[in-house]
Amino acid sequence: MGLVNSRFFQHACFLIRFRYKKRFLSSLRKAKYKLLGMKVGAGTKLPGMYVTWPHQVSIGANCQLEHSIYFKFDGIWKKGQTILVGDNVFIGAGCEFNIRKGISIGKDSLIASGCKFIDHDHGTQDGTRMRLQSGEERDIKIGSDVWLGFNVIVLKGVEIGEGAVVAAGAVVTKPILPGEIWAGVPARKIGKRGMA
């Protein structure tokens, strides 16, 4: 009888800790960020994450976000949204959005853990410290149904077409056409979906 009670107690603790507590905390976060201007679609739960300017972020419906995501609008306060996430998007743990200009992620995309998105550079002119120089800024556009593997880095001005796949660890510096498969540092085309 003691074993049955022990299992029941462990099961109850598991449910409370990993289901009900997470739902409750997610509801509180969602309410807090909505008050601060973030747009969050129905069915999307918010984990523990870091956001510099919540009003700059729009997350669609039924998205699945893991913990420790960093939504960083790298600038002073301004109106509007620059980080746009479509419906049914998965974003893995530890992803970083370091954005000055803008990023959009199409619906049904899969962003694996550790991915980084940086839409700007520092200047490199001689005679002035680089940290004091402004660099080029260009939007990043991720199409629908895109899969980015673990630790992919996407740099300024990149557009990734619908249905494209980028292998783990790649550094994307150029546009990717729909359905293409890219890998490497810097990333290059290695195939196309549907072709053996």
* DSSP element (H, E) containing 182: strand 180-183
37-192 CATH: 2.160.10.10
| 41-45 contact pairs (CB < 8 A, 24+) | 41/87
Residue whose token pair is 């449910």:
15
Mean pLDDT by 10 residues, the chain (196 residues): 67 68 82 94 94 95 96 86 96 96 97 97 86 88 98 98 98 97 97 79
Question: What separation in angstroms does the CA of 91 have from each of 105, 115, 175?
Answer: 10, 9, 21
Residue 79 has a pLDDT of 87
Residue 133: predicted pLDDT = 82
Predicted pLDDT at 27 = 86
Give the up-direction half-sphere exposure of residue 102: CA atoms within 13 A in the CB hemisphere. Answer: 11
